[in-house]
Amino acid sequence: MNSRVAADRRKLLMRRLAVFTMLAFLLAAPAALLAQTEKRVEVGAFADYYRFDRTNVINFVGIGGRAGFYVSPHTSVEGELAYDFERNRTDFFNNGASTTFTRTRTRPLHGLFGPKFDFGTGKANLFATGKVGFINFASSSQTVGQAFGNVDNGATRFAVYPGVGVEGFWGPIGLRAEVGDEIYFLGGARNNLRVTFGPHFRF
């Protein structure tokens, strides 16, 4: 009887040690990761250029924002949203060029999520990214909130976005430029050039 009680106590002690060890690891691992990773969180805003390349090419212009969390010194996971509310037309002449911006009835809303891989020193980087998400073709009568609330309607398409870019930081403040191909699917893959540029902040 006493031997059974002693055995049960040893098992209980081992379980407690195992639980304590697991909790200690779970608490220590994130701290160790952050200690090894100088870059932790990155947020930014950007101007968005989207070339809707169909029978009639439309150059959309808008604004957006993104946030990323570093999981290693050179890898982060990002999410971004952009809303294009104007279209641009540029005409070239022998003696120069002219460009105009007008409000457009179709206003694309982009939502993308995926990894970003840095290749550089941290202060100056080339990078590559691959994201998935959606593009919603909202109407001019919708606000940004209404467009985001209607992403499940028939005007929303699944999107894939491979891109590359360059960024430079001066302390926590930086600039980032990116170019990529935002591909959505409607009777096949539809390729569309996308360019973003704007400030970024690192914490």
The 10s digit of each residue's pLDDT in 30-52 is: 554 444 456 689 999 999 999 88
Domain limits, the chain: 1-36, 38-202
DSSP 137: E
Q: Which has the higher per-residue pLDDT, 77 or 27?
A: 77
What are the two backbone dihedrals, phi and then psi, of residue 47, each rounded to the nearest 5 degrees?
-85, 140
More reliable by pLDDT, 93 or 81: 81
Q: What is the percent of the chain where pLDDT is above 70?
A: 61
Q: What is residue 157's predicted lDDT score, i.e. its pLDDT? A: 87
Asked if 84 and 50 count as a contact pair (C-beta separation under 8 A), the reply is yes
Average model confidence (pLDDT) across the chain: 77
The pTM score is 0.70
Quick one: pLDDT at residue 152?
A: 46
Asked whether the predicted pLDDT for residue 123 surpasses 80, the reply is: yes
If you average pLDDT over residues 55-81, what whole number do you get?
Answer: 89
Q: Give 84's DSSP letter.
A: E
Question: Please, where are the H alpha helices in the chain?
Answer: 2-36, 144-149
Stronger pLDDT, 157 or 86, i.e. the higher one:
157
pLDDT at 151 > cutoff 80: no
- Residue entry with tokens 């002693």: 6
Angstrom distance (rounded) from CA 7 to CA 30 = 36
* Helix and strand element counts for the chain (H, E): 2, 11
Tokens 């055995």, located at residue: 7
Residue owning tokens 């947020």? 43
Bridge partners for 103 per DSSP = 86
CATH architecture, range 38-202:
Beta Barrel (2.40)
How far is the C-alpha of 192 from the C-alpha of 161, rounded, in Å? 10
DSSP 53: -
